[in-house]
Amino acid sequence: MIKTRLSLLALLIAHNVNAESLQKNEAIDENNMERIVVTGSRIVESIDEVPASITIINRQQIEAQLKVSTELQTLLATLVPGLAPSTGTSSNSSQTLRGRSPLVMIDGVPQSTPLRNGALGIRTIDANALERIEVIKGATSIYGNGAAGGIINYITKKANSDSKLSGKISVASRFSAVKTGDSVGQRVEGMINGQLDKFSYVASASYEDNGVQRDAEGDVIGLKYGLSEASMQNYFTKLGYQFNDDISLQFVYNYYESKQDSNLVDVVGSVNSGVKTYAIEAPSGTSAYGEPQGPNNHNMMLKYTDVALFENTQLVIDAYAQEVENIFFYSPTLANLDEGYTGGQSLIKSDKEGLRVTLNSQFDWDNVEATFIYGIDTLNDVTSQPLVDGRVWVPEMDMENLAGFLQSKWVVQDNFIIKAGIRREKIDLAVSDYRTLKLCKKVAVCSIPIDVTGDTLNYRATTYNFGIRYNVADYFQPFASYSQGSDISDIGRLLRTSTVTDIALIQTEASIIDNYEIGFTSEIDKLRLEFSAYRSTSELGTTNKYDPATGVYMPVRAPQEIYGYEAVAFYNFSKEIDITATYAWVEGKNTENDTYLGAKQISAPKATININWQPIDNTNLALSYLYVGDRKKFDPVDGKYVGDKGPIDSYHVFNMSGNYSFNQDWTAFIGIENLFNQDYYPAKSQAYTYSGYNVKGLGTTVNMGVDYQF
């Protein structure tokens, strides 16, 4: 068995890098690939040996969803139980995973900015560059800070080892079926890849230009984190070289940019008035405020792999660098009339450099197989949030992170799996002296600027995990797990609202999250069932409370408990038709005050149904259904709902897509989002009472185009 596992790792590397190695091993088909996961333990392993809830989205599912929408938020919300509904905007604020923020990665490299979480991490790569997506749910420290809710790992495309040159070109147009005027957008994407002896390559590019986005009434959707008249571009390259059967080197570069450059302005409504926020052309003689909003993201990754460093031991070294610049919308709440500022626009800047060294040793003793994954992670993360006009809102935070880890897996008699691990975290966060900003929501409602003495904050944490799984039979495979995560995310929010004169007095302690989960999978003939229930606790969660004296939402550090359950059912009627249904429910409280947590963390109940059908050869149809349930846990304060505590009413959305292949080269496709033109507010728009957030969901929108493969 141990030789099989070593072969599996070599085989997966070969599948990505070198055709010669692939031919020297047994063949691997796509079905087997879908049963392999690399995110949970940082090595290749079978999904049936992981005592945790995992969702794997394969390329076929990605392509089906892309016919409807290119937004990864929509795709993930449709296919991942436990992930909150899509926000319908460029922001993934409130789109938590089991009530906590997930760490978003590309090939294991962090994309989120946890030191100042701007909630834009999901949109850091175009889906055209992805082979699959792995989602591991529940707090984990296996990749370090920021994974309080779990991990979303984008696995990028691999080279086609059967050809020196192959590729695909796609052209599409997207428009509102409610009111077409000014809504027509265009998208073009292309990809080439191949194998030249020991050298492999993948190169892809995509460009998308949106028209205005309209709701079910034909009005332009509001601009706060909006996608109307936004342009997106992504350039991705992966180069690999196989020195011999054991040693390979891989280089990856990814650039992603999204900008909303529009001359529209918002007509602002509110949750409390019941009037929606929508956009109109800027009045004659005026123009929209601020610079174009959106993320700008550079990634470089270098991976060295030796599958036979020692006997039964493999080595993987990952070095990476990232530059992020996320520009946010212009906001009048960033005003300071005394200094001549009628508003402002912030941006999050984050530069990361990291190195991960992972070793994997495997042993076989009679009926026991043992795997030990161990190594060291280093990371330097420099993050700040200045304003575009030069004012400093969040000072520069310079984090040095060093961590060592040991993860073990024991497989007893092929069916009983035990996992246990430990991670020791050392984080030093340096912040220089700074002055908080004076911000005025109204002329007479201003925050008081404070001079804060900087320091180096030191965090030390040891976290543990333990899990068991028993594959007693196909019809019942139970598991249980306990995992901890150490989280210092969103320190920047604490710094920018400081009310003390010394950084050492700010409540910046790390939050230790304890996550408990039980569940099972079951396969009975053509039916597959998955169920899990979980509980997550932390002594220092972070929520917000409005301060009417200053007009600022202040962070509140308080203990939290989050709990819920998820269910998935998949039934394959025949090779022509299958159906997947999911349901997820989550709830959470501030246990100190016994009060419910708001929508920034806790989502409304969510159910989905996805049907795939091949009625005739060369034709595929797909129908997806999303249901978001009620969540009404809060009462008005002085007649108004506040913060993220607005009431959520249920809604339903249907999407449909189809494609027809004329031959092996040409395919035409169409996708329709919000098929029945449901007039609704997304969950976040209902719950967020902040000015300008109550925008309606997208009305019926059509996407159609053609693919050419060569």
Burial of 549 (0-12, 13-18, 19+ CB in 10 A): exposed
What is the identity of the amino acid at 656? Answer: M
Answer yes or no: are the C-beta atoms of 136 and 109 closer than 8 Å. no
Spans of the chain below 50 pLDDT:
1-29
Q: What is the DSSP secondary-structure string of 435-448?
A: EPPP-EEETTEEPP
Q: Decide the pairing of beta strands 130-137 and 54-57.
A: antiparallel
The residue written with tokens 């019942």 in the block is 476
Answer yes or no: are the C-beta atoms of 132 and 57 closer than 8 Å. yes
Say what angle helices 59-66 and 72-79 make with each other, to 10 degrees.
120
What is the identity of the amino acid at 28? Answer: I
* Separation CA 697–CA 701 (nearest Å): 11
Answer yes or no: are the C-beta atoms of 330 and 356 closer than 8 Å. no
Decide: helix, strand or coil at residue 141.
Answer: coil
pLDDT digits (tens, 9 = 90+) for 114-164: 899 888 888 999 999 999 999 999 888 788 788 888 999 999 999 988 899
* pLDDT of the residue at 34: 63
Element (H, E) at 99: none
CA dihedral 594, 600, 605, 606 (to 10 degrees): -160
Answer yes or no: are the C-beta atoms of 164 and 196 closer than 8 Å. yes
Helices (H) and strands (E) in the chain, counts: 7, 37
Answer yes or no: are the C-beta atoms of 198 and 18 closer than 8 Å. yes
Q: Which residues contact 169 (CB under 8 A, 6 or more apart)?
A: 188, 189, 190, 707, 708
Q: Which residues contact 75 (CB under 8 A, 6 or more apart)?
A: 57, 62, 65, 66, 69, 127
Q: Which residues contact 317 (CB under 8 A, 6 or more apart)?
A: 303, 304, 305, 355, 356, 357, 358
DSSP character for 643?
Answer: T
* pLDDT of the residue at 327: 94
* Separation CA 189–CA 498 (nearest Å): 46
* pLDDT of the residue at 145: 81
Decide: helix, strand or coil at residue 517.
Answer: strand
Half-sphere exposure of 494 (CA within 13 A, CB side): 23
Return the HEC string of 455-491: EEEEEEEEEEEEEEEECCECCEEEEEEEEEEEECCCH
* Separation CA 680–CA 609 (nearest Å): 19
- Main-chain dihedrals φ then ψ at residue 16, nearest 5 degrees: -90, -25
Q: Which residues contact 618 (CB under 8 A, 6 or more apart)?
A: 660, 661, 662
- Number of domains composing the chain: 1
Q: Which residues contact 188 (CB under 8 A, 6 or more apart)?
A: 169, 170, 171, 172, 206, 207, 208
* pLDDT of the residue at 26: 37
DSSP character for 676?
Answer: T
Instruction: Name the nearest CA neighbour of 420 among 483, 356, 358, 491.
Output: 483
Predicted model pTM: 0.91
Decide: helix, strand or coil at residue 72.
Answer: helix
Which residues are registered as beta bridge partners of 158? Answer: none
Answer yes or no: are the C-beta atoms of 128 and 169 closer than 8 Å. no
How many CB atoms within 10 Å of residue 487?
28
* Separation CA 14–CA 624 (nearest Å): 35
**CA 276 to the chain's CA centroid:** 28
List Cα–Cα distances, 66 to 104, 133, 278, in angstroms: 20, 14, 26
Query: Edge-to-edge strand order for the sheet containing 109-110?
Result: 54-57, 130-137, 150-156, 102-106, 109-110
- Main-chain dihedrals φ then ψ at residue 15, nearest 5 degrees: -65, -30
426: left (phi > 0), else alpha (psi -120 to 50), else beta? Answer: beta
Element (H, E) at 167: strand 166-176
How is residue 234 written in tokens? 């992504």
Answer yes or no: are the C-beta atoms of 135 and 98 closer than 8 Å. no
The CATH number given to whatever domain includes residue 117 is 2.40.170.20
Answer yes or no: are the C-beta atoms of 144 and 104 closer than 8 Å. no
* Boundaries of domain holding 274: 2-709
Answer yes or no: are the C-beta atoms of 611 and 577 closer than 8 Å. yes
* Separation CA 418–CA 312 (nearest Å): 20
* pLDDT of the residue at 285: 79
* Separation CA 598–CA 589 (nearest Å): 9
Element (H, E) at 604: none
* Separation CA 690–CA 643 (nearest Å): 6
* pLDDT of the residue at 16: 45
pLDDT digits (tens, 9 = 90+) for 238-254: 999 999 999 999 999 99
The residue written with tokens 């550079």 in the block is 298
